[in-house]
A = this chain, B = another copy of it.
Amino acid sequence: MSEIAHLGPVELLTPDGDGSLHFFTEVLGMEVEGRDGGSVYLRGWADYQRYSLKLTESDTSGMAWLGIRAWSPEALERRVAAVQAAGLGGEWTADGAERGRGAGYRFRGPDGHLFELYHDVERYDPPEHLRPSLKNQPQRYTGRGAAVKRLDHVNILSADVRADRDFATDVLGYRLYERIELDDGTEAGAWLSASIAAHELIYTKDAYGAHGRLHHLAFWVDTREECLRAADLFLDHDIHIEAAPSKHAIAQGFFLYGIEPGGNRIEVTTGGYFVYDPEHPPTVWTEAERRKGQAWGVKTVESFHTYGTPPVDAPAG
């Protein structure tokens, strides 16, 4: 079992602060939890934390850092020790350095992505106008836009997927559920999870061998109908649809991909399978199998294999 509770929040950079904010609030339907400097804190209606997305105006697009919550204070200590033992360096951030969060440990993964391991965090307490009717729900359901529930998974590009996958399993404690192995032995993608969900953290091969780039952030909705509905929203809000709703072969999730005004790829996702088997043998896909396209034969659009948002050279925020 993993010592990781879940990933998120994530800090996302955008050169078009207004456009991106409009996208995340009006099209995806997230709530503004607060603002701070050039950042806006955003949440889905089922996020238990105060926010799952920190949106920051910047010169560029891309992911500044990816938060990962450890299961317990002890698990945090153990994972930080493992990171240090792996020679990845890093340093502790101060309690409160990030909004509503205790001290974290910030370091770079093998491909240069910035991570922050943390444990202590504040739970969301909704203001009156967002108080839900059902007490087991963190926030009222407003139904605005695609009404995403929460951040679901993150897909990051890597020049060396196998190295990053080993880091995720051996250092962080993720489990590997699926991967792609090309004919020449290269690993082209790895689907990792800390729970029964079919994926939480994904590495896919950077077509240019660049480092530290983001492929996409995925936000969860409960039904495929909501993905279809989100496509109508994208269409009528002039959001570029990179890949129309369909079903992935890998992980069997249902997807919709669009490019938000800041240039980052965003997925609205649902479905997929659950892994209840503690000894689940990872599915390995060959090059030939992947050429068949998605589950129902949809060919993946070329940009999906090449486009990513810039590496981030220095920790933001």
Please give the residue numbers on chain A whose beta carbons come within 8 Å of chain B beta carbons, in ascending order.
Answer: 1, 5-6, 46, 48, 69, 71-72, 123, 132-137, 140-146, 150, 178, 195-197, 222-226, 228-229, 231-236, 238, 241, 244-247, 249-252, 271, 273-274, 276-278, 280, 283, 285, 289, 294-298
Contact = CB atoms under 8 A, between A and B. Distances in A.
Closest 5 CB pairs of A and B: A244-B296, A225-B225, A6-B276, A136-B283, A5-B278
Given A48-B276, A143-B146, A232-B295, 5 more contacts: A142-B236, A195-B195, A195-B274, A195-B276, A241-B296
Contacts of A234: 296
B135 A289 contact: yes
Contact of A223 (B71, B132, B142, B224): B224
Contacts of A285: 135
Nearest to A47: B276
Given A48-B276, A141-B232, A178 B5 contact: no
B136 A244 contact: no
11 contacts: A48-B276, A48-B277, A72-B278, A123-B277, A132-B236, A136-B178, A195-B274, A196-B196, A234-B296, A244-B296, A245-B296
Contacts of A229: 143, 226
Nearest to A285: B135
Q: Do most interface residues of chain A lie in helix, strand or loop, or is the interface mixed?
A: loop
Contacts of A222: 271
Nearest to A232: B141
Contact of A144 (B135, B144, B150): B144
Nearest to A151: B276
Most B CB within 10 A of own CB, among A145, A231, A296: A296
A276 B271 CA distance: 17
A280 B247 CA distance: 32
A133 B249 CA distance: 10
Contact of A137 (B135, B228, B252): B252
Nearest to A195: B196
A133 B196 CA distance: 22
A297 B6 contact: no
B6 A134 contact: no
A235 B134 CA distance: 9
A235 B246 CA distance: 14
